[in-house]
Amino acid sequence: MQKKKRLKIAAAGIILLGAMVFLVVDGIKGTGVRHFTPALLVADNDQVDNQLVQVDGLISEGSSKWDAVNFELTFAVRDRESEATVNVIYKDRLKPDNFIDGGSVFVEGRYNATENLIVASKLMTKCASKYEGAESAIPTDETSYISQ
């Protein structure tokens, strides 16, 4: 009797452990987001249609439109090394203060290959002036990094 009871408990434990492993693997696979440049995204558009993607590049000059009434920002992200662009719509959120044409941008959202459009869920911008002169804060004497 004891042996059967232990066997049942061991079997139940193995089943629970297997189910947990399956859920973790499935959850990680479902939340994986691939990173692209606009040129790579346009080139691989069939493979990533209706999937979550991350894209970084520059905000195309003259492409941004902000609808303050509906909280809707539309713009195009241009590749840093080519003329490839991806259109972006960012809804129901405020426009970032440092969002400017030509500025650096990072976008995450679902990609529609037919429309070459990312419906963005995350939008981050970089303010270049904030980081200018950062080199001057780096010591030039290597001994200041390492104490011997």
Which residue range forms the structural domain that includes residue 20? 1-32
| Residue 67 belongs to domain with CATH number | 2.40.50.140
Report the C-alpha gap between 93 and 78 in whole angstroms: 22
State which amino acid sits at residue 146.
I
- pLDDT on residue 129: 54
142 located within any domain: no
Residue by residue, pLDDT tens for the chain (148 residues) are 788 888 888 888 899 888 888 887 776 655 678 899 999 999 988 888 999 999 999 999 999 999 999 999 999 999 999 999 999 999 988 888 889 999 999 999 999 999 999 999 999 998 655 544 444 444 444 444 444 3
In DSSP terms, 53 is beta-bridged to 34, 109
Cβ atoms of 53 and 34 within 8 Å: the answer is: yes
Q: How many domains does the chain have?
A: 2
Distance CA 99, CA 95 (A): 7
Residues 42 and 117: their CA atoms lie apart, in Å, by 10
Can you give the pLDDT at residue 29?
59
pLDDT of residue 18: 87
Q: Answer yes or no: do 25 and 76 share one domain.
A: no
Instruction: Based on the fold, state whether residues 11 and 72 are members of the same structural domain.
Output: no
Evaluate the CA torsion angle 39, 44, 50, 51 in order and state its sign. Answer: negative
